[in-house]
A and B are shown apart, each in its own frame.
Chain A
Amino acid sequence: MKKNVFWNWLWIIISLVYFFIPLYATFNFSLKARKGELSLLAYQQMMEDPRILRSLIFSTQIGLLTILLGLLLMVPTVYWVRLKAPRLRPVIEFISLLPFVIPAIVLVFGLIRTYSGGLFPLTNTYTGTNFLLIAGYVVIGLPYLYRSVDAGMSAIDVITLTEAAQSLGASWTTIMFRVIIPNLRSAMLGAAFLTLAIVLGEFTVATFLVGLKAFGPVIWQVGQNRAYEASALVIISFIITWVLMGLINYVGRRGAADGSIAAGPR
């Protein structure tokens, strides 16, 4: 048994070293913007770079709208399926998992081809393009959204709750907002943070639709010519990911925690 413990520790230490070195190297680099001493100059420069704050705000807004649209779409759908059309449940689940099969680069290619002309030329206007971006993110987040909301719904007895509310004379809006949604809070929050984690640093879809307006492409741009600022940005985006994952774990019952295995486009 002693020998096993040794091997266990060996794997753990190797992995820890591998995980740690790139973070350390980046952090170390980010402190060296001023020659010959350690300083936070890179972080200061990063804060003063207007592109960064502007794009971070833009991506956060897109993220919030993605969450809103995603939940508006998924919560009533999953609720309806459980209540009225349980036989369609495998169909909805299958459709929700389909985005796994479509790499982000292929999705954005298809979106551009479909919506840069034809009946709905969405890419002709800023609003249209932003909407297309949000729709693309909802598609990418669909498997996680579905799983979170579905897990949340299976934790409560939707049918009994609905019937109880109905027999007390509640309207559909009352049932939705005062019975179902409060019970889904942690699942919805988990889905929300996960969506935000996917959207904030997303590069592939953003770069082809809105370019340097979004945070991901800006990180890339900064990395092309300003190494110190870039290293500070890497550390910041690692911290953002960490915080969002922490929040997911914090609000997470099973549904949300399962979702944290998810990851956005690479």
Chain B
Amino acid sequence: MSNNVHTVASGGNRPKPLSPRKSPPSFAWVGLLPFLVFVVLFLFLPSLSLFIGGFQDPKGNFTLENIRGLFTPFILNAYWVTIKISFATAVMGGIVGFFLAYALVAGGVPHWVRSSLMTFCGVASNFAGVPLAQAFIFTLGRVGLLTIFLREVLNIDLYAQGFTLYSFWGLSVTYLYFQLPLMVLIITPPIEGLRREWREAAENLGATPSQYWWHVGIPVLMPSLLGSMILLFGNAFGAYATALSLTGGLINLVTILIGSQIKGDVLHNPNLGYALAFGMVVVMAVVMSIYYALRRRSEYWLKQ
């Protein structure tokens, strides 16, 4: 999952079509056939088959029963937990990531610190899934290094106080390891886009730093901030490997539920499984639409 607020989709200098030729333009799509066939076979058909399956009963007749089935407490709860954890990590990662990115951009920090932390963010945002979950088990698991350090040295017994890594908050702390760096990577270009002249103009007019932020900085950055957090939300929403290997499938997330459904029809209704999966696509589609709408708004201020 990615994006970059700063890539203005490189659409600025759209190439002009070749000077008119004899070949009629209606054949231009022929060259796109391989791509289109591939996309139809491996992206559209699989999605469509889930979509259709979600509206069928086991015999193949049309039904809305599966959609109704999505609104039963167990499945609603799975969606709710998934949304909650995606929201929590998006907000936390978003806020801390913003401050970290700002700290790196604002200056007062040696260049090598900045560039090596940025590189690290690139690595960490790609370091996810099974290895990440295991790293956190070695850290905050029952016999993890940090757990033991806190207990032996600082006398804080995390697990006695009800914390476990294999729970909502444990999962959140782990997700942050890729959410936070991703936020730094996508919010840095908009922060860099805040022009020095705006600040100077505000100061010349007698604005205090907080007035500058309240009336200039935050309004300009707000679409990027919200957009980035929404992207983080989507990023966590589809996570499967990290959650599975951390909790062993004990947490009721939609992705985990779909995984169990593929393995062994835990819902006792394959078609409900298809509806469940397609429901994720619907949520993601909403999320990404909001993201692109916000991105367009942020580009308004940030383009040169």
Contacts and interface: CB of A to CB of B under 8 A. Distances in A.
Nearest to A259: B2
B235 A266 contact: yes
A266 B182 contact: no
B39 A95 contact: yes
A29 B7 contact: no
B139 A249 contact: no
A137 B41 CA distance: 13
B103 to A, nearest CB: 4
Interface in A116-156: 135-136, 138-139, 142-144, 147, 150-151, 154
B284 A102 contact: yes
Interface residues of B, number: 99
Contact of B285 (A101, A157, A219, A242): A101
Contacts of A104: 238, 240
B42 A258 contact: no
A25 B139 contact: yes
Contacts of B128: 263-264, 266
Interface string B169-186: 000000111101110011
A234 B117 contact: no
A246 B232 CA distance: 23
A138 B42 contact: yes
Nearest to A134: B42
Interface residues of A, number: 103
Contacts of B288: 97, 100-101
B131 A101 contact: no
A109 B284 contact: no
Given A15-B180, A263-B182, A105 B122 contact: no
Interface in B243-289: 244-245, 255, 258-259, 261-262, 273-274, 277-278, 280-281, 284-285, 288
A232 B205 CA distance: 58
Interface string B133-145: 0111111000011
B163 interface: no
Interface in B115-166: 117, 119-120, 122-132, 134-139, 144-146
B31 A76 contact: yes
A253 to B, nearest CB: 12
Nearest to B238: A103
Contacts of B181: 19
A111 interface: yes
A38 interface: no
Nearest to A82: B15
A266 B255 CA distance: 11
Given A109-B262, A110-B277, A11 B134 contact: no
Interface in A14-33: 14-16, 18-19, 21-26, 28-29
A62 interface: no
Query: Which residue among B53, B126, B136 has the maximum number of chain A CB atoms within 10 Å of its CB?
Result: B126
B123 A201 contact: no
Nearest to A102: B281
B18 A98 contact: no
A111 to B, nearest CB: 5
Contacts of A102: 43, 47, 281, 284
A35 interface: no
A11 B99 contact: yes
A113 to B, nearest CB: 5
Query: Which residue among B34, B131, B181 has the maximum number of chain A CB atoms within 10 Å of its CB?
Result: B131
A265 B18 contact: no
A99 B43 contact: yes
B63 interface: no
Interface string B20-41: 0000010011011011001101
19 contacts: A15-B180, A19-B124, A21-B145, A21-B146, A29-B138, A73-B34, A80-B28, A85-B25, A106-B47, A113-B274, A136-B42, A139-B42, A203-B244, A219-B130, A223-B130, A234-B135, A249-B119, A261-B122, A266-B129
Given A18-B180, A109-B262, 15 more contacts: A8-B109, A9-B109, A12-B104, A80-B31, A92-B35, A97-B288, A104-B240, A109-B261, A135-B41, A154-B13, A159-B16, A203-B241, A208-B259, A260-B126, A265-B238
